[in-house]
Structure 1
Amino acid sequence: MNERLDTVIDRAIEEERIVGTVVLVAEDGQVVYRRAAGFADREDGVPVREDTVFRFASLTKAIVSVAALALIERGDLRLDGPVTDWIPSFRPRFGDEEESVITVRHLMTHTSGLTYGFMELPDSRFHQAGVSDGLDQPGLSMEENLRRISSVPLNHTPGRRWNYSVATDVLGEVIARCAGIPLPDLVERLVTGPLGMRNTSFRVGDGVALANPYGDGDPRPVPMAEPHRILFGRSAVLYSPARAFDAASFPSGGGGMVGTAPDFLAFLEVLRTGGAPVLKPESVLALTTNAIGDLRVNAVGPGWGFGLGVAVLKDPVLAETPESPGTWRWGGAYGHSWFVDPVRRLSMVALTNTAIAGMNGPYPDGIRDAVYGVVR
C-alpha cells in the first residue's frame, strides 16, 4: 500500500494538480501510512508537515454533528424537535405551504429543503439574497445569515428529498442556543477537548500559520484571491480565505473549523471504535447508518445513503468503489477527503490545500484505490 500511495501523491505533486497534502491511513487502530508532501506555501517554499493546519471546510460537519448527538444523548435536544424551538424566527417555507416544519433530524440528514449556493443557478433567489455558504463573507453575523436563509423559499418540503445545504450551519446555531454557549466553546467542551484535538478549532491560534489555499488553475493551481470563485456544481463555490482570521464571522457549523490531519484521524478512530468518551455506541451507529431510505444523495451519486452527518455506502457496485458496504465518508471544499471502512477497520484522511482537485477527481479517487490495491 505504501508504494501505491507514494506513487499517487508523487504524481499529483509532480503534475502540479495538488500543491500540498497530508495523507494518513490507520488499520485496526495503528497508523500504517503517513506522508506529508508538497508545499504549504509554494511561493515561499514552505513545505507541508504532518501537523500543518488546514482550513477544514466540510470536515467541520462531522464534528458538529457529533456535538449535536452528544446533546441528544443528554436529553437536552430532541432529534425530531422543530428548529423553531431554538430559533423561533427561522421559518423558511416551501411554495404555498402555510408552515414547513424543519426538525433537527432534517438538518442532520440534509433533508430540510435548504440548499447551498453552488447547488443553485447564478440568478437564483438564494444568490440574490446574499446567503453565505460559510466559506465567504468575512464579518457576516449568524443572525443576518439566518435572516437571509429564511427569506429564500425551500427547495422542497422537509423530508421529501436529500439536498446538500447550509443545514449544518443552522444546526450549529441550534445546538449553541440549546447549550447556552457559543458554538466554538460547545464543540471544544463536547468533542475536541475530550479527544485532545489541540490543533482543531473555530479560532486560529496566535502564531498558527495556516496552509496557503490554492484554487484549480491552468496550467497549475493559483493562490486564492480574496475573495475567490471556483466554478462548481450549478454555479460556483465562493471562498474568502481571510474569514478564518475574522473573529466577527459567524462560526460556520458546516465549514468554519481549521485543524490537522492527525487530529481528524484521531476523531474518526474514536468513532470507529465506539465513540467513547464523546458518544455512546448507539449514537455512533445513528451517525453512520443510512437514515434517508432510498433518497438519492446527489453529492456523491448512486449507491450512497446518508446518516446523521455522513454519507454511508449502501451498494459498492452501484457506487463503483472498492470500499466495503457500510463505509462512511465525506470531504471538504478546500480540498479534502476522508473515509472509514468499519469492515476492513480502515480510516483514511487526505488533506490538501488545493480546491477542488483535492476533494473531487483523480487525486482522492487515486488515494482511495491505492489503499485498497485497485488498479484502474
Structure 2
Amino acid sequence: MISVTCFCQDTKFTGYGIADVNQDSIINLKTIGYSDKQHKIPYSKETVQPIGSVSKTLIGISLMIAKEKGLINLDEDINNYLDFNITNPHLKGANVITLRHLATHTSGIIDNEKIYEESYCFDTIPNTSLKDYLKKHLSSDDNKHLKRVITNQKQEKDIHIPM
C-alpha cells in the first residue's frame, strides 16, 4: 500500500480520487484524503477537482494518434483546422500559430487566470460554447484586444518535440 503522504508535495494537496472506467461507466472508485482538510470534509465522488495538467497527457496522446493516422500536421497553420482565423497581431511575415505551438505553450496566447479559475463547473452547462468563446476571444477584429491576449514574443522555432 502507498501512503497518501507520498503524493503530498505541498499543503494544498489533501485528497484525490482514483477510478477504473470503461467506455460506458465507472467500474470502481476510490477516494483518499480530504476535500477540505480544515473542516475534515472527506474527498468524495462529489468533490469538484480541477483537472489542470492531467488534460495535457490526454491531449498529447490524442495529437500523436491523429498525427499517426495522417489526420493532422503539427506544423500546419491552425487556421486550416478552424472556421475562424487566429493571428498574432504583434508578428509580421510568418504570422502562423501551429498545433505544435499550442501543444508546447509557444503560441503566444496568454493564459487568463480569471477565466481559467471560472471554467470549472459542477453539474452546470456553460452559457457559452468553447468554440464561441475562442472565436470571440482570439479572432477579434479589435487589434487592441488581441494585443492583450497574445504576447509580442515570437514563437519558439527551435523547440522541436517529436510527436
Aligned partner of 1:139 in structure 2 is 127
Opposite residue 139 of structure 1, the aligned amino acid is N
**Among candidates 147, 156, 161, match of residue 159 of structure 1:** 156
TM-score under structure 1 length normalisation: 0.30
Identity of aligned residues (%): 19
Structure 1 stretches of at least 4 aligned residues deviating more than 6 Å after TM superposition = 50-53
State the secondary structure of the residue aligned to 1:22: strand
Is the 8 Å Cα contact of residues 91 and 154 (structure 2) preserved in structure 1?
no
Flag the 1:308–1:111 CA change in 2: closer, same or farther, 3 A.
Answer: farther
Is the 8 Å Cα contact of residues 85 and 139 (structure 2) preserved in structure 1?
yes
- 2:90 aligned with 1:95, yes or no? yes
Aligned partner of 1:148 in structure 2 is 137
State the secondary structure of the residue aligned to 1:62: helix
**Among candidates 115, 131, 136, match of residue 110 of structure 2:** 115
CA-based RMSD = 4.1
Opposite residue 292 of structure 1, the aligned amino acid is I
Opposite residue 147 of structure 1, the aligned amino acid is K
CA distance in 1, matches of 2:111, 2:72: 25
State the secondary structure of the residue aligned to 2:84: coil
CA distance in 2, matches of 1:44, 1:90: 48
In the comparison of the two structures, how many residue pairs are matched? 137
Aligned partner of 2:49 in structure 1 is 54
* Deviation, structure 1 residue 308: 7.0
CA distance in 1, matches of 2:62, 2:75: 16
Higher relative contact order (CA 8 A, sep 6+): 1
Is the 8 Å Cα contact of residues 77 and 97 (structure 2) preserved in structure 1?
yes
CA distance in 2, matches of 1:91, 1:50: 38
* Deviation, structure 1 residue 144: 3.0
Is the 8 Å Cα contact of residues 111 and 159 (structure 1) preserved in structure 2?
yes
State the secondary structure of the residue aligned to 1:63: helix
Aligned partner of 1:75 in structure 2 is 70
* Deviation, structure 1 residue 100: 0.9
Structure 2, gaps ≥5 residues long: 19-29, 121-125, 141-145
Flag the 1:92–1:147 CA change in 2: closer, same or farther, 3 A.
Answer: farther
* Deviation, structure 1 residue 50: 9.2
CA distance in 1, matches of 2:44, 2:127: 30
Flag the 1:106–1:96 CA change in 2: closer, same or farther, 3 A.
Answer: closer
Is the 8 Å Cα contact of residues 17 and 44 (structure 2) preserved in structure 1?
no
* Deviation, structure 1 residue 77: 0.8
**Among candidates 55, 64, 69, match of residue 59 of structure 2:** 64
Which structure features the higher share of strand residues? 1
TM-score under structure 2 length normalisation: 0.60
